Structures are given as structure tokens and as C-alpha cells.
Homo-oligomer: A and B are copies of this chain.
Amino acid sequence: MSPSDLSPDPEQELVTDVFARGCTSRAAFEDVTSKWASLALLALGEGSYRFNALRRRVDGVSEKMLSQTLQALERDGMVTRDVVTTIPPRVEYALTPLGLKVAATLRDLADLLEGSVDDVGAAREAYDERPGGKRP
């Protein structure tokens, strides 16, 4: 068999790295940070929601996008989908342990930004006000 000179699969990166295209962590990272997923996770961090309640909570999302988003998050093992077959039907969405951890870091980020609205607002004004800053 091959002795010690065997380098372990040059084409196949073994380290997991969000910077690497094709790494699962990068895919998961993009799923989580996608436009609606981050807000949906944030909302579910407050507790479980039914579809339309979640839709109202996440201001501006369409049925289609919320549905797609939840499917992606369920596939990644961050969200559970619990169907209660009553009339009318109920479907409860909640976070898995992993989803809970992810939601917590997103909460940190949201808190940070909510606490920095003034700074961001000021920075934007300064940027837009300076020559060539804005396109009217």
C-alpha cells in the first residue's frame, strides 16, 4: 500500500471553512443569513409560531418566501415543523437545539444593531452629505 507520502486528497478540503465555496458550513451560513431566514430564526427565538402568525411577525415577507425559507431551515436541521391535523389544520414551527444556538447569536447581532441605530444614521448622513456621496 501507499506509504507515508500519501497526501490526503488535495481536491477535497477537509477543514471546514465558511470562506470556502462548496463547504457545508458556508452553505449553512448563507442559508442562515439570507434575507428572511435570519428574521424567521429571530422570531422563533421568542417561541414557537404558527405559519400565519410568523408571517405577521416577520414584517414584509410573502407566503411563498416564508414557506421556502422554512423548508430550507428545516432541511438544515434548525427548525422543526409540527403538523396537527385538526380542522382547520395547525402547523407549529419551532427551533431545534442547533436553531436555538443560531438564533441566540442572531439576537446578539440584532441587539447590537438596534443599539447602534444612531451611529449608523449619523454615518449614513455624513456619507451622503459629502461630495459625490449620494446619487440624487
Binding site for B on A (CB under 8 A): 16-21, 23-25, 28-30, 32-35, 38-39, 42-43, 57-60, 74-77, 98, 101-102, 105-106, 108-110, 112-114, 116-117, 119-124, 127-128
Mostly, the A contact residues are helix
Question: Which residue from B28, B34, B59, B106 sits with its C-beta under 8 Å from A116?
Answer: B28
Contact A117 B25 (CB under 8 A): yes
CA distance A117 to B23 in the complex (A): 9
Q: Known contacts A38-B29, A101-B112, A113-B32; is A120 also within 8 Å of B24 by CB?
A: yes
Number of copies: 2
Residue in B closest to A76 when the chains form the complex, CB atoms:
B120
